[in-house]
Amino acid sequence: MSNSDEHATCCRLPAVALTCPICKKQGRKVGEVTLDQHLAPVARARFDSEAGFCPNPVCEVVYFNGATIVRKGETVQAVTQKDLRDEVFVCYCFEHTRGDLRRDLTLKGVTDIPDLIKQGIKEGRCDCARRNPQGACCLGNVAEAINEIKRRPLSRPS
Ligand SMILES: [Zn+2]
């Protein structure tokens, strides 16, 4: 079924597309395990057992269900796609930050963080559905963050 690889053991939720009510871009469905982890009780109470996650960096919405939304800043942890600061995690399972990537790329020109993540996945130590706000594997986000840092190495948004 799957055409990949190391993601198979990692992202157990099916990639169901849902449309963000604000930006109208495609999001993906997340379940209870993700919402329980990333929302404090008041925000958690806005949803039942599932919601959509909006990955669009220019949209403030993190989770949505119909017109009900949770915005950037209302989640327990900062969200990779919504917050470009160096202290924000790009990998929540093994706790690598954007700054970790930037430091490797600045000092060495390369980073072994994607390989460390893949090794952790292979060993069954990742818990993306719970730990990542998008409820799925971080490797795409990590690759994007690396490309962004390479494009603009001196940029440190705050
Ligand atoms: Zn959106």
Structural domains for the chain: 17-151 (2.20.25.270)
Q: What is the pLDDT of residue 3?
A: 41
Q: What is the pLDDT of residue 154?
A: 67
Query: How far is 134 from 16, CA to CA, in rounded Å?
Result: 12
Mean pLDDT of 42-53: 96
Tell me: the pLDDT tens digits for 2-23? 344 444 445 555 567 799 999 9
* 119: CB partners within 8 A, 6+ apart: none
Q: What is the pLDDT of residue 5?
A: 44
**Residue 60 CA to ligand 1 centre (angstroms):** 6
**Residue 61 CA to ligand 1 centre (angstroms):** 5
Least confident stretch, 11-15, 59-63, 67-71, 124-128: 11-15
Mean pLDDT of 84-100: 97
Do residues 65 and 50 make contact, with C-beta atoms less than 8 angstroms apart? Answer: yes
Which residues have a beta carbon within 5 Å of ligand 1, which is an ion?
Answer: 20, 22-23, 54, 56, 59, 61
**Residue 97 CA to ligand 1 centre (angstroms):** 23
Mean pLDDT of 115-126: 95
Phi, psi at 31, each rounded to 5°:
-110, -175
